[in-house]
A and B are shown apart, each in its own frame.
Chain A
């Protein structure tokens, strides 16, 4: 039994990779070959789909737009959530528990419920079709999550550190940026990872709040599928390219995931 332990994770990883392989396989085929029938490997290997995506601005600007609002959202979420998480972790104040739960409830709000009102709200603010609109809208679920995760990490740092710093004459902002933030570095890393992840994968709000200027890659994909029939090869290549940024981010935080997860709340 003991020697066959690796079998479970291995089978699971194969199960995870098969659909990804299929997407990759199709992205190197021509649409005609895809529709022609079942085959394990591309018979007529082509990178045309990738070339088209990387040279046509309507395609690659989709990636640029997505990355802009995702990064913007991650920065806003972490910057706003840090002081709030500190307050929740260190102080009692009027209505703190209710406020914390209210924040969490926003993580539960189904985007389908909010899509239409969001459109009206951001049109009224004059932010429709900007990266900022999507970044702010994604704060709805990312800020509560960020506060929740960071609060766990901050509570893991003993209070004595704060008190010693005050005795040493540190002002609060200096203490916070010079001493405290490095201490919870892995926590900030994990939080940023989750904010990036949930903003990158969300589509409904991003699609509703944009039309041309800030259109995310996911919306470009659906529109292409409907206008020019089913260009499956192109769609598959675009899909593969949406996996790449995620894979890069995972690679960078892989050690944080193991260490950070164990320390913090999530």
Chain B
């Protein structure tokens, strides 16, 4: 779409700019301040340079939680995206049943995150929870408070439960925008089911799927509340992802310098990946 050059448009953006800047720049600068200073209490700070950054980047604890974070994000993306697309393809396209599906599927998205954690905490308990009891009844030893594998299984299953619907909704929106004539044309040409998916449905969903992957990446990368309520990062440190480790360092141990340096490294990583995605999206729009 052609746009006219008009610098007065700044005035329309200004309110948003001010309110977001208040929330973003002041706290970010506080974090930056902490990350380069040390304190002996009493609000006495002195400059430490890059010490905290070097310390964090060299620490095994940070490497471990980063690794766990990548494992978590990668796993849920690999499960949720194809599953979401498959469900969107098979659910009713319009009418009463489509509405029923949408309403029921959107439900997990609107449950407060700590309730999601608490709900799964109970649901997966080996003695009184349906999931834990059921798995043990089937002869699979399962106890997420003791076994790291069970804990990971529960955390990932919880995330799949919580967020696959977002992918479904977005993919469904992409599918809805396809005109029926495309399908008719494909039928006349005798296209296979796979060909319809590959050459009609997938290209139309490309844009919304990029958004879905972007949102899921961002949100899973900063996940905190649900795994914290579910496992508290345990057993041991088995499910301690970045955010949990960060809060432990900042509020649990009061290592403000280390926590702030971690925050900044963490934020820069998210920023980098999102910049890549953003460039992909905007380039896709130009075509």
Contact segment of A4-12, A49-57, A177-185: A4-12
CB of B115 closer than 8 Å to a CB of A: yes
Residues of B close to A96: CB separation below 8 A? 9
Given contacts A247-B107, A258-B102, A261-B169, contact A121 B27 (CB under 8 A): yes
* Alpha-carbon distance between A96 and B211 when the two chains are bound, in angstroms: 21
Interface string of B16-48 (1 = CB under 8 A from A): 110110111011101100000000000000000
> Is B113 in contact with A38, judged by CB distance below 8 angstroms?
no
Report whether A222 and B90 are in contact in the complex, using a CB–CB cutoff of 8 Å.
no
- The CA of A103 and the CA of B112, in the complex, are separated in Å by 25
- Chain B interface residue count, CB cutoff 8 Å, equals 91
B161 sits at the interface (CB 8 A)? yes
Q: Give Cα A137–Cα B86 distance, bound, in whole angstroms.
A: 37
A38, A139, A235, A251: the one within 8 Å of B103 (CB): A251
Given A204-B225, A239-B119: A37 touches B1 (CB 8 Å cut-off) = no
* CB proximity of B162 to chain A, nearest CB, Å: 9
| Cα of A84 to Cα of B14 in the assembled complex, Å | 8
A137 CA / B211 CA spacing, docked (Å): 24
Q: Which of B60-68, B125-133, B145-153, B183-191 contacts A (4 or more CB under 8 A)?
A: B125-133
Known contacts A110-B243, A117-B31, A121-B27; A201 and B111 CB within 8 A of each other: yes
Q: A170 near B: Cβ within 8 Å?
A: no
Q: Is B172's CB within 8 Å of the partner chain A?
A: yes
Interface size of A in residues (CB-CB distance below 8 Å): 95
CB-nearest residue of chain B relative to A141? B23
Query: Does any Cβ of A come within 8 Å of B258's Cβ?
Result: no
Point out the residue from B3, B6, B99, B169 that lies within 8 Å of A255, measured CB to CB: B99
If A12-B105, A91-B5, A262-B177 touch, whether A201 touches B112 (CB-CB below 8 Å) is: yes
A interface, CB within 8 angstroms of B: 5-9, 12-13, 15-20, 22-23, 26, 34-35, 37-38, 76, 80-81, 83-84, 86-94, 96, 99, 101, 103-118, 120-121, 136-137, 139-140, 143-144, 147, 155, 159, 197, 200-204, 217-218, 221-222, 232, 235-236, 239, 242-243, 245-247, 249-251, 254-255, 257-258, 261-263, 265-266
